[in-house]
Amino acid sequence: MDDGRRRYGLVLLLLIAAAAVCAVGVLVGELTGRWNLGGVFLGVLLIVYSFIVLVLRKGGFTQA
C-alpha cells in the first residue's frame, strides 16, 4: 500500500471511530430522554458518514 492510500486509510479509521462515538451518543440521548443531545449526535453522524464516503472515493477504495 502506498503512502497516499495509507493516509486515506488512517483518516478513514478516525472517521469510523467518530461515527461510533456519535452512534453511542445517539443511544445515550435516547435512553436518557435528552432529545437535543441525540439529535445533535445524529446530525454529526450523518455528516461523518458523508466524509467517509468522500474519503473512500478520493482514496480509490471504490470503483465509482
pLDDT above 70 for 1: no
pLDDT above 90 for 21: yes
Q: Which tens digit of pLDDT belongs to each residue from 32-61?
A: 999 999 999 999 999 999 999 999 999 888
Rounded CA separation 4/26 (Å)? 33
3-class secondary structure, 63: coil
- Domain regions of the chain by residue span: 3-58
